[in-house]
């Protein structure tokens, strides 16, 4: 029998690292599936009985990463927070050395004093040596970039760490060379030191990684809120008394008491009592479902009205909620990170630059027979090809665009989401809370006798004034909106799953569903056609009657959000297909879809059903999923881009790659439009980053000198490199002026 195993992996910094860990795992006998997660630093494998764990550990260690058995006693949030603290400490230590280094290397340019033993003019050697002594600690602190960078080069998968390692080491070793030349009397090299470049690049990268980790820590913290839906204890009925026990001690077959307002502790069947259960965390539907003996209840849902006794059918990892948690976690790990455009380019760029630098060095050694001349050219090539501009091209544009998006109420959690949102060819929506407001409201009031509609509403709301049921809140909200004063309620009786009975001004009234009135032997008359229309439109019928006759019908339904139709129409203009996924019945979903103009619609779905449909749609489309509830979390993770709503649950926001902060969908259009502009901006940035290299590298290789022209000094190379970085940043900053899409 196959088993699922989890491990902690230390040392992964990029997609190439993730790929290396997965490949090493799959080389291990018995491993059928391997998925590593960069944000959580975990490895999940599916293994058969022949699996050899010792071999797995050996294979992972040989790739340069540390592996440990997964520690489930310590939460992922605590692990991430500890890592964040370690990164913060490293940055502080690095800054302690960087600041005096910058003072020594740059201070004299603006007239800052230096002791004579390290002043450039008085003691060039002391000036260079002091910079070396302050640079080395920074490089030691950032040693992981060198380990990972060169490790990926040796695997033939160079990434941004590889570029950082090459660029900083080129500057550092040229500084060492300069120090040696100064010691030999060539003091001119005191003006050609690049120690501070190595240190600055490393510290900036550390800060960037720290910010990335901070975001990841927050995400994992929010993700664990899903697990908090499980209550910690349950009320066990032993046949005579009730005993509060830890949830971990509950067994299949136990009987548990669930009081009104309690979270149902685990999956089970009702064996006594009846109630209404809020299952919105499962179905997304706002109206509680009536439950009675032999009906199933799901752990994590909320018992709203009556006390019930349930017989436990599933515990622990077998419950529906645990399955959702597991699916969200697996979807997060299986979702392969999109390879950044700059990383793809660097895979070709790094070996080409290295090859050109070596070719130029060898050529000039033979042509000039001058090592100093050749090393000058070698370093010039590497310095002008420093990864600064290339490294800034993508993240600067994404950072700026993310800031602009935030101003328009769109929070983007990853550069991948921003980069691929414009490519979405299908947008799938959850219904309740996404397309609709997510809370019941009074829609129709029909009088079947001579009473006015206002009177029907007032009597119904007055009967419900002692109830906390969502329908009662909808009736109360409507009367408050119209400014009516509630009537005095003399008596009140609740019939769980059916309705209520009350006395107003000495007269008995019944309010509830059709079953409620049938039990009171009150005829519903010729109302079947009306209520059938209500049902087709997703409305729930509420009947109001006296002791002898029906006097009115009130429909309760969820309302469409403002601007939804315009958003759907705008998506269609972009040739984007739309779909509606809901736990509501197929008839209601079809009505809503046609009402707003959505192309495809699917009803009566459980969370895992939504995931399956998204997976199928991904065969032909780049899919964006928009949802607001826990029931949408798996689908949000399964989609190419998941969009959560801030008005929804925390887990929906965490599962999404993008969060819409405003309670409408207009932000989707801004997301798609801004994504297109950002991709265009990134391509422009990469063009400028390479434009300088295409022009500068041949000059740095000595092309002009070959024809009697000047030789490119490494300082000029560094200046050109800086200019390319500045142009990239300025171009990216244009995204700050983004105005958003208005309907």
C-beta of residue 301 within 8 angstroms of C-beta of residue 279: yes
Domain for residue 660, yes or no? yes
418 in any annotated domain: yes
- pLDDT given at position 713: 60
Classify 424 as helix, strand or coil.
coil
- Residue 495 bridge partners (DSSP): 499
455/479 Cα distance (integer angstroms): 10
Which of these three, 618, 642, 671, is where a domain ends?
671
Domain boundary among 671, 688, 714: 671
Q: Which of 50-59, 138-147, 389-398 bottoms out in mean pLDDT, i.e. has the lowest?
A: 389-398
CB neighbours of residue 79 within 10 Å: 17
Do 91 and 210 meet the contact criterion of CB atoms below 8 Å apart? yes
Residue-wise pLDDT tens digits, 695-713: 888 888 888 888 877 777 6
State how far the Cα of 222 lies from the Cα of 207, in Å rounded to an integer.
23
pLDDT band at 332 (very low <50, low <70, confident <90, very high): very low
490 in any annotated domain: no
Predicted local distance difference test score (pLDDT) of residue 706 = 82
Whether the per-residue pLDDT at 732 is higher than 90: the answer is no
For residue 316, name the pLDDT band (cuts at 50, 70, 90): confident
Q: Is the pLDDT of residue 335 over 70?
A: no
Least-confidence region, from 96-100, 123-127, 485-489, 660-664: 660-664
pLDDT surpassing 70 at residue 365: yes
In angstroms, the Cα distances linking 519 to 449, 495, 499, 510, 672 are 21, 11, 11, 11, 54
Report residue 93's pLDDT band, with 50, 70 and 90 as the boundaries: very high
Question: Residue 612, Cα to own-chain centre: how many angstroms?
Answer: 20
CATH number of the CATH domain containing 67: 3.30.70.100
DSSP one-letter code for 434: I
pLDDT digits over 415-472, tens only? 677 878 989 999 999 988 888 887 788 989 999 888 899 999 999 999 998 887 778 8
Angle at the Cα of 580 (from 574 to 584), degrees rounded to 5? 165
Cα separation, 656 vs 676, whole angstroms? 19
pLDDT single digits (tens) 230-264: 778 888 988 888 888 888 888 999 999 998 888 89
CATH number of the structural domain spanning residue 297? 2.70.150.10
d(CA 491, CA 466): 10
- pLDDT (0 to 100) of residue 721: 61
Q: Return d(Cα 478, Cα 455) in angstroms, integer.
A: 13
In a domain, 392, yes or no: no
Q: Which residues of 413-425 are buried (b: 16+ CB within 10 A; e: fewer)?
A: bbbbbbbbbbebe
Does residue 629 register a pLDDT over 70?
no
pLDDT at 208: 61
Same domain, 414 and 269: no
Reduce the DSSP state of residue 338 to 3 states and report it.
coil
643, burial (CB in 10 Å: exposed 0-12, middle 13-18, buried 19+): buried
Mean pLDDT of the 614-620 span: 94
DSSP 708: T
Residue 401, domain member (yes or no)? no
Question: What integer pLDDT is reported at residue 502 of this predicted model?
Answer: 92
Q: What is the mean pLDDT of residues 362-383?
A: 78
Q: Is 17 helix (H, G, I), strand (E, B) or coil?
A: helix
Would you call 458 helix, strand, or coil by DSSP? helix
CATH classification at residue 661: 3.40.50.1000
| pLDDT reported for residue 338 | 34
Mean pLDDT over the full length of the chain: 81
CB 461 within 8 A of CB 475: yes
Q: Which of 184-193, 568-577, 656-665 has the highest mean pLDDT?
A: 568-577
Cβ distance 593 to 580 under 8 Å? yes
- In terms of residues, how long is the chain? 743
Measure the CA angle with vertex 329, ends 324 and 335; round to 5°.
120
Any domain includes 314: yes
DSSP character string of 524-540: --S-HHHHHHHHHTTPE
Please state, in angstroms and as integers, the Cα–Cα distance from residue 114 to each residue in 10, 94, 131, following that order.
Answer: 43, 22, 13
Q: What is the DSSP letter of 26?
A: H
Kindly tell me if the per-residue pLDDT of 628 is higher than 70.
Answer: yes
Rounded to whole angstroms, how far apart are CA atoms 312 and 256? 7
Does the pLDDT at position 380 exceed 60? yes
pLDDT, average across residues 27-44: 81
> How many CB atoms within 10 Å of residue 57?
16
- What confidence tier does 61 reach under pLDDT thresholds 50, 70, 90? confident
Nearest CA-CA partner of 599 in 589, 609, 611: 589
CA 665 and chain centroid, separation:
18
Spatial separation of the C-alpha atoms in residues 527 and 514, rounded to whole Å: 10
Residue 175 CA to residue 194 CA, distance in Å, equals 6
**pLDDT value for 369:** 76
Give the per-residue pLDDT at 219.
46
pLDDT value for 427: 96
62 in any annotated domain: yes
- Asked if pLDDT for residue 337 goes beyond 50, the answer is no
Checking if the pLDDT of 280 tops 80, the result is no
Any domain includes 285: yes
pLDDT in tens, 632-645: 888 888 998 888 88
Catalytic residues: 430
Looking at residue 508, its pLDDT comes to 94
149 or 646, higher pLDDT: 149
Residues 6 or more apart whose Cβ sits within 8 Å of residue 396: 685, 728, 729, 732
Strands 426-430 and 577-581, sheet pairing? parallel
Query: Residue 171 contacts by C-beta under 8 Å, 6 or more apart in sequence?
Result: 194, 195, 197, 198, 379, 383, 386
pLDDT of res. 571:
94
Domain end position, chosen among 31, 51, 73: 73
Range of the domain at 600: 408-435+562-671
Q: Give the pLDDT band (50/70/90) at residue 504.
A: very high
How many structural domains does the chain have? 3
Nearest CA-CA partner of 383 in 622, 547, 147, 197: 197
What pLDDT, on the 0 to 100 scale, is given for residue 336? 33
Residue 575 has pLDDT above 80, yes or no: yes
The edge-to-edge listing of strands for the beta sheet with 426-430 is 410-412, 658-660, 641-645, 623-627, 426-430, 577-581, 600-602
Distances (CA, A) of 490 to 39, 306, 478, 511, 574: 59, 22, 22, 15, 59
Is 624 buried (19+), middle (13-18) or exposed (0-12) by CB count in 10 A? buried
Spatial separation of the C-alpha atoms in residues 99 and 221, rounded to whole Å: 34
- Mapped onto helix, strand or coil, the DSSP state of residue 429 is strand
Q: What is the C-alpha to C-alpha distance for residues 403 and 701, in angstroms, rounded to an integer?
A: 40
Please give the order of strands across the beta sheet that includes 275-278: 289-291, 275-278, 302-303
Position 647 confidence tier, pLDDT thresholds 50, 70, 90: low
Please give the model's pTM, rounded to 2 decimal places.
Answer: 0.60
Please say whether the beta carbons of 442 and 556 come within 8 A.
Answer: yes
Considering 23-37, 162-176, 700-714, the range whose residues carry the highest mean pLDDT is 23-37
């Amino acid at each position: 029998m196959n088993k699922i195993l989890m491990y902690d992996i230390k040392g992964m910094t990029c997609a190439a690292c993730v790929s290396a860990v997965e490949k090493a795992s799959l080389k291990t006998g018995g491993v059928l599936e391997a998925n590593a997660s960069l944000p959580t630093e975990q490895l999940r494998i599916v293994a058969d009985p022949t699996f050899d764990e010792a071999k797995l550990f050996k294979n992972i260690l040989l790739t340069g990463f540390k592996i440990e058995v997964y520690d489930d006693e310590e939460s992922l949030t605590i692990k991430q927070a500890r890592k964040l603290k370690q990164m913060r400490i490293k940055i502080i230590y690095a800054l302690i050395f960087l600041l005096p280094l910058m003072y020594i290397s740059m201070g004299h340019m603006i007239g800052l004093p230096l002791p004579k033993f390290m002043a450039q003019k008085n003691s060039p050697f002391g000036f260079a040596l002091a910079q070396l002594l302050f640079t080395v600690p920074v490089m030691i602190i950032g040693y992981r970039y060198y380990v990972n960078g060169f490790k990926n080069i040796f695997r033939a998968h160079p990434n941004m760490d590889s570029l950082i390692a090459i660029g900083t080491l080129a500057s550092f070793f040229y500084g060492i060379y300069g120090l040696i030349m100064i010691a030999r009397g060539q003091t001119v090299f005191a003006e050609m030191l690049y120690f501070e470049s190595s240190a600055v690049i490393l510290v900036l990268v550390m800060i960037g990684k720290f910010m990335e980790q901070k975001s990841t820590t927050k995400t994992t913290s929010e993700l664990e809120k899903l697990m908090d839906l499980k209550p910690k204890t349950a009320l066990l009925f032993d046949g005579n008394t009730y005993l509060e026990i830890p949830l971990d001690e509950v067994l299949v077959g136990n009987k548990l008491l669930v009081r009104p307002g309690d979270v149902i502790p685990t999956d089970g069947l009702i064996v006594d009592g009846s109630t209404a259960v809020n299952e919105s965390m499962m179905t997304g539907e706002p109206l509680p479902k009536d439950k009675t003996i032999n009906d199933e209840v799901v752990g994590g849902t909320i018992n709203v009205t009556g006390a019930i006794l349930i017989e436990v059918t599933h515990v622990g990892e077998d419950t529906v909620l645990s399955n959702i948690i597991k699916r969200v976690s697996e979807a997060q790990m299986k979702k392969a990170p999109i390879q950044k455009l700059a990383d793809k380019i660097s895979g070709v760029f790094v070996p080409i630059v290295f090859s050109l630098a070596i070719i130029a060095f060898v050529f000039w050694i033979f042509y000039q027979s001058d090592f100093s001349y050749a090393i000058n050219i070698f370093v010039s090539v590497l310095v002008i090809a420093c990864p600064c501009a290339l490294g800034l091209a993508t993240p600067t544009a994404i950072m700026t665009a993310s800031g602009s998006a935030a101003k328009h109420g769109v929070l983007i959690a990853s550069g991948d989401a921003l980069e691929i949102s414009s490519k979405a060819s299908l947008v799938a929506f959850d219904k309740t809370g996404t397309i609709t407001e997510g809370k019941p409201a009074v829609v129709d009031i029909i009088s079947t006798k001579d009473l006015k509609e206002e009177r029907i509403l007032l009597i119904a709301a007055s009967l419900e004034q002692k109830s906390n049921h969502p329908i009662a809140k909808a009736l109360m909200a409507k009367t408050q909106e119209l400014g009516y004063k509630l009537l005095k309620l003399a008596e009140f009786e609740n019939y769980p799953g059916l309705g209520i009975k009350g006395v107003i001004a000495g007269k008995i009234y019944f309010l509830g569903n059709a079953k409620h009135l049938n039990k009171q032997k009150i005829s519903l008359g010729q109302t079947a056609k009306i209520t059938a229309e209500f049902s087709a439109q997703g409305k729930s019928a509420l009947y109001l009657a006296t002791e002898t006759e029906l006097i009115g019908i009130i429909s309760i339904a969820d309302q469409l959000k403002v601007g939804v139709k315009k958003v759907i129409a705008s998506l269609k203009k972009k040739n984007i297909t739309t779909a509606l996924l809901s736990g509501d019945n197929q008839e209601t979903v079809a009505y809503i879809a046609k009402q707003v103009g959505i192309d495809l619609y699917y009803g009566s779905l459980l969370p895992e059903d939504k995931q399956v449909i998204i997976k199928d749609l991904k065969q032909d489309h780049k899919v964006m999923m928009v949802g607001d509830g826990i029931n949408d979390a798996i689908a949000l993770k399964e989609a190419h881009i998941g969009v959560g709503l801030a008005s929804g649950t925390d887990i929906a926001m965490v599962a999404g790659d993008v969060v819409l902060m405003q309670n409408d969908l207009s932000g989707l259009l801004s997301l798609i439009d801004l994504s297109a502009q950002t991709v265009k901006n990134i391509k422009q940035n990469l063009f400028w980053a390479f434009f300088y290299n295409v022009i500068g590298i041949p000059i740095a290789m000595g092309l002009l000198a070959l024809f009697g022209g000047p030789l490119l000094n490494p300082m000029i190379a560094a200046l050109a490199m800086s200019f390319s970085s500045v142009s990239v940043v300025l171009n990216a900053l244009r995204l700050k002026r983004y105005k958003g899409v208005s309907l």
